[in-house]
Structure 1
Amino acid sequence: MNAEARLLIDGELVEATGGATYPNLNPATEEVLGQVADAAPQDMEQAIAAARRAFDTSDWSTNHAFRHECLQQLKAALVSSMDVLKQQIAAETGAPLGICGQSGPQCELPIAFIDYTLASLPDYPWSRDLGVNEIMGGKNKRLVEKEAIGVVAAISPWNVPLQINLAKCIPALAAGCTVVLKAAPDTPWSATMLGRIVAEQTDIPAGVFNVITAQDPAELGDMLVADPRVDMVSFTGSTAVGKRIMARASDTVKKVFLELGGKSANIILDDADFDTSLLSALAVCFHAGQGCALNTRLLVPGHRQQQVEERLQTYFGFISYGDPSSESEIMGPLINERQRQRVLSYIESGRQEGARVLLGGGIPPTLKKGYYVEPTVFVDVTNDMVIAREEIFGPVLCVIAYDDEEDAIRIANDSEFGLSGSVWSGNEERALAVARRIRTGTINVNGGNFYGPDAPFGGYKQSGIGREMGREGFEEYLETKTIAIAV
């Protein structure tokens, strides 16, 4: 697959210290795809030092035109490498090829999203004049300047690795930061190929962008988060790990961006078109449910539950899976056996708590290879059950009945998370009014889709801090300085 096995440190593609490697597995076949560098603490030390030196001693942070030129080179190189990237990403994530194309977030779309940054960067207001004020007996001209925050630790997950690598690294680089990207252990090639492209096909200076891969992320991740030379941590992953990162980063009072878990509610109001709105429940199968913003709680009127069950049994029959080369399937395997066992344990927990399995609930008997779990739908779920409270990260849907609109809003907001959601109604104004009462960072109305390079993404409550993408995502990587000049 023409994969890249090496690290990128200080402008050079290098092996890990001692030549250590680990295998990259295909979760759809359970076969070894190839090897990748297994970095040691010495490698992380060198990467941090290189990023710090590049920020402090080069003009990367102030030469806006040069950064724009380098990012144009990067976009062009990614486009020219698209076919190879799609094959690698599909293989290491297990995602069917179809969702690595234009219909999904795994490859083509996030590369196209770079155009938003390229278009907006030249016109960004790096400085604004507040005018002259008179205070404490003197007159002052005031300027507000925007500056790169410094060295950024970008720590990415395995579910949509290229999308999140780019969503972190492109705005950070555009802002003038230097970056150490620590890849998820299960999807290293999505980062190492980015490192190769930067090294071989752009003029990005040595040390500005560094890539680290390691089989055990804990030790190197802790080094990166705790190091005082790192000015910001941008992390996407589980809420539990995000809490540890936030606590560790507090020792040096560095900024953290956290995009964490979700337990989003899909609210079908009683006047919605059920034939259309219930089709949206199939999204829980997208990439085997391995998406933090997927709607995993389906809220339906209690008096229509039988109708809902009949529709879901029909609709979930439309889902086919098991062919990694498919251009039409949306569901693949879970990322590894550990994650499959985790999902199966949640399914068993749902049974023990009294929820009823409407369909699915186990390992598909026809697939002898791959970390697959059947699309699973629970009914008779109450919002206090573990399967309704915790993020499962698998193709598992919880159907929860509500009494009336106020009850639906209460249930939707009764969660530690607040990442996304959906509302369906025959009356758009009614749906919009409900959407505005849901405590989430993103929400779709009547089949809308918030996903786009200009749309800020992030969560309320324990779903995270800050925003990714859009202007807000770019400004996460900036500091604000106020300058006063005596008049």
Structure 2
Amino acid sequence: MTSGQNDSGVLAGDERMLIDGELQYTASGATFDVIHPASEQVAGQATDGTVEDMERAVGAARRAFDETDWSRDLEFRYHCLTQLAAALDRNKEHLRRVLITEVGCPITVSGSQIESPIAEVTHWAEHGKNFEYLVDTGVHDTPMGPARRMIHHEPIGVVGAITPWNVPFYLNIAETVPALMAGNTVVLKPAQLTPWSGSEYGRIVTEETDIPAGVFNVVVSNANEVGAALSADSRVDMITFTGSTATGRAILASGAPTVKKTLLELGGKSAHIVLDDADFNAALPLAAMMACVMSGQSCILPSRILLPRSRYDEGLELLKTSMENFPVGDPWTPGNMQGPQISEGQRKKVLGLITSGVDSGARLITGGGIPRDLPVGYYVQPTLLADVDPDSQISQEEIFGPVLTVTPYDTDDDAIAIANNSIYGLSGEVSSGDVDRAMGVAKRMRTGNVTINGKSHFGITSPFGGTKQSGLGRRNGDEGYREYLEGKTIGLPA
């Protein structure tokens, strides 16, 4: 196991994966490098798992579901997840340094990626303990006489979780803990760029909890076919995935032969409609901040700003000032709120989309390149583009970088039409001095979630998910817990 730390705070994570209760390397001993995006240097390695490793992990999860009491012993599951919450809390500073090392998330804003998911473990343990798994729906008239009907909510079986690199520890927790509490067994495949947020999770599970062998497995790999093998395996009953829409389509296709349940949180291209009666001084600096925190690597980021033509220049000036003064730099330095992009490939994609926007007629207001004072690390300047064509590539394609596009509109109907002009429907925002007017606009936006006047829709107690090509199903809230359960209707004598 690697656990090296240098003076900057860089900390490598556990190289191993967890299969059937054992922390292990792949049979060949092959590893792949993990790069610290703020230094562009190799921070350590992770074992390079294979399709054969994934098959063994799925087999372990299948046996643990079919042959143990895990799915039926609610009190034991509660005990194990309570242990897990305490263990994660003990390890949180170690986890924070590993996270910053592999993601480049600024330490100033790391709480949402560390403290928040740890708190969610406790939430799901309590939610699952108090959930009503057997519901009596009363007596119903039938041609055969009165019958009492009950609904039994039972675990689905083996759940495969495939997670992305932007908020890896948070999503590793969000996609596996409710599944475990509901009685399922799990195989986690973390993203190639952020393997340690998965391997450290597996280490803590096996070293510091009573979760039985095979119930929770982590397969780390740099090969795309390993995740594909998980989604296609007939022994897996459900796939939960967060990531690109293109990969989501592939997962749906690979699961189709076995009619596998899929819970998908996919891409987003959210619009923020700023109405003409909005408090621009409150709404727009916050919009600029949201574009840059996490380096713009967020699926719910409202990256399309729609401004009324009557106040267009005023809005652009506020956005420009905010983005030019946003603190960008070394993620280990307190106060910085934007770090690097996750990789050189991701930075090239962001810069290429900015160039595409300018080529299609957009006006570059600020940013657009690499910060001169940050020549090392995968940094991108906070970037503001105005006069953006709603049909252009940069207005239609998810950027995943610190970039805001601004498009003018004339009427509320015009703004709603522009907002809905997208294959995506994950999130959105409305700002207005009249909450009833904002609510009317929000209801017409074809998206799964909407924020009004900065009051976030996102939280562990509220369902979250997309419409159109932004996904299937919901996370969080009671609806999110039910995603990991099957409802069985039972008819019995009245």
- Superposed pair shares fold, TM > 0.5: yes
In 2, Cα distance between the equivalents of 1:299 and 1:374?
21
> Contact conserved, 1:284 with 1:396, CA < 8 A, in 2?
yes
> Contact conserved, 2:324 with 2:366, CA < 8 A, in 1?
no
In 1, Cα distance between the equivalents of 2:371 and 2:37?
15
Q: Unmatched 5+ residue regions in structure 2?
A: 1-10
- Of 412, 436, 439, the match for 2:419: 412
> Contact conserved, 2:331 with 2:337, CA < 8 A, in 1?
no
Instruction: Please name the residue that 2:90 is paired with.
Output: 80
Q: Give CA-to-partner distance per residue, 1:62-110, whole Å, 9 cap, x none.
A: 1111100000000000000011000110110011111112xxx211111
In 2, Cα distance between the equivalents of 1:435 and 1:259?
21
Instruction: Please name the residue that 1:228 is paired with.
Output: 234
> Contact conserved, 2:328 with 2:338, CA < 8 A, in 1?
yes
Instruction: Please name the residue that 1:24 is paired with.
Output: 34
With over 3 angstroms needed to count, the CA separation of the structure-2 counterparts of 1:456 and 1:121, relative to structure 1, is: same
In 2, Cα distance between the equivalents of 1:130 and 1:356?
60
Instruction: Please name the residue that 2:300 is paired with.
Output: 293
1:276 aligns with 2:286: no
1:50 aligns with 2:60: yes
Q: Determine helix, strand or coil for the equivalent of 1:299.
A: strand
Q: Determine helix, strand or coil for the equivalent of 2:43.
A: strand
1:138 positional shift: 3.5
Q: Determine helix, strand or coil for the equivalent of 1:44.
A: helix
* Range 441-450 or range 304-313, more displaced: 304-313
Write out aligned runs for 1:186-265 (5 A): 186-216=193-223, 218-265=224-271
- Of 7, 10, 18, the match for 1:8: 18
> Contact conserved, 1:343 with 1:392, CA < 8 A, in 2?
yes
In 1, Cα distance between the equivalents of 2:33 and 2:461?
37
Write out aligned runs for 1:119-130 (5 A): 119-130=126-137
* Range 369-378 or range 72-81, more displaced: 369-378
Q: Give CA-to-partner distance per residue, 1:376-403, whole Å, 9 cap, x none.
A: 1110112111100110111111101000
Write out aligned runs for 1:27-426 (5 A): 27-101=37-111, 105-216=112-223, 218-282=224-288, 283-426=290-433
Q: Determine helix, strand or coil for the equivalent of 1:71.
A: helix
Q: Determine helix, strand or coil for the equivalent of 1:17.
A: coil
> Contact conserved, 1:180 with 1:211, CA < 8 A, in 2?
yes
Aligned AA for 2:409? Answer: Y
Instruction: Please name the residue that 2:441 is paired with.
Output: 434
1:428 positional shift: 1.5
1:268 positional shift: 0.7
- Of 486, 490, 493, the match for 1:479: 486
Aligned AA for 2:297? Answer: Q
In 2, Cα distance between the equivalents of 1:248 and 1:446?
41
In 2, Cα distance between the equivalents of 1:164 and 1:17?
28
Aligned AA for 1:249? Answer: G
1:371 positional shift: 0.7
> Contact conserved, 1:264 with 1:295, CA < 8 A, in 2?
yes
Q: Determine helix, strand or coil for the equivalent of 1:157.
A: coil
> Contact conserved, 1:268 with 1:300, CA < 8 A, in 2?
yes
1:451 positional shift: 2.4
1:405 positional shift: 1.0
> Contact conserved, 1:113 with 1:452, CA < 8 A, in 2?
no
In 2, Cα distance between the equivalents of 1:197 and 1:120?
22
Q: Give CA-to-partner distance per residue, 1:258-288, whole Å, 9 cap, x none.
A: 1000010111100011111111221111111
| Structure 1 vs Structure 2 CA RMSD | 1.1
Instruction: Please name the residue that 2:476 is paired with.
Output: 469
Aligned AA for 2:27? Answer: T
> Contact conserved, 1:441 with 1:459, CA < 8 A, in 2?
yes
1:139 positional shift: 3.6
Q: Determine helix, strand or coil for the equivalent of 1:483.
A: strand
Q: Determine helix, strand or coil for the equivalent of 2:444.
A: coil
Aligned AA for 2:287? Answer: A
1:309 positional shift: 1.9
Q: Determine helix, strand or coil for the equivalent of 1:415.
A: coil
Q: Determine helix, strand or coil for the equivalent of 1:130.
A: strand
Q: Determine helix, strand or coil for the equivalent of 2:136.
A: strand
> Contact conserved, 1:313 with 1:359, CA < 8 A, in 2?
yes
Aligned AA for 2:435? Answer: E
Aligned AA for 1:476? Answer: E
In 2, Cα distance between the equivalents of 1:39 and 1:221?
10
Query: Which segments of structure 1 move beyond 3 Å, counting only runs of 4 or more?
Result: none
Q: Determine helix, strand or coil for the equivalent of 2:71.
A: coil
Q: Determine helix, strand or coil for the equivalent of 2:380.
A: coil
* Range 220-229 or range 360-369, more displaced: 360-369
Q: Determine helix, strand or coil for the equivalent of 1:392.
A: coil
Q: Give CA-to-partner distance per residue, 1:290-311, whole Å, 9 cap, x none.
A: 0000010000001221112221
With over 3 angstroms needed to count, the CA separation of the structure-2 counterparts of 1:2 and 1:248, relative to structure 1, is: closer
Percent identity (aligned):
49
In 2, Cα distance between the equivalents of 1:360 and 1:317?
8
1:2 positional shift: 6.3
1:132 positional shift: 2.8
> Contact conserved, 1:153 with 1:179, CA < 8 A, in 2?
yes
1:469 positional shift: 1.5
1:130 positional shift: 2.2
1:485 positional shift: 2.1
Q: Give CA-to-partner distance per residue, 1:177-197, whole Å, 9 cap, x none.
A: 000000100001100010001
Q: Report the TM-score, using the length of structure 2 for normalisation.
A: 0.96
1:140 positional shift: 2.5
In 2, Cα distance between the equivalents of 1:328 and 1:450?
26
Aligned AA for 2:441? Answer: V
In 2, Cα distance between the equivalents of 1:278 and 1:132?
56
1:136 positional shift: 2.5
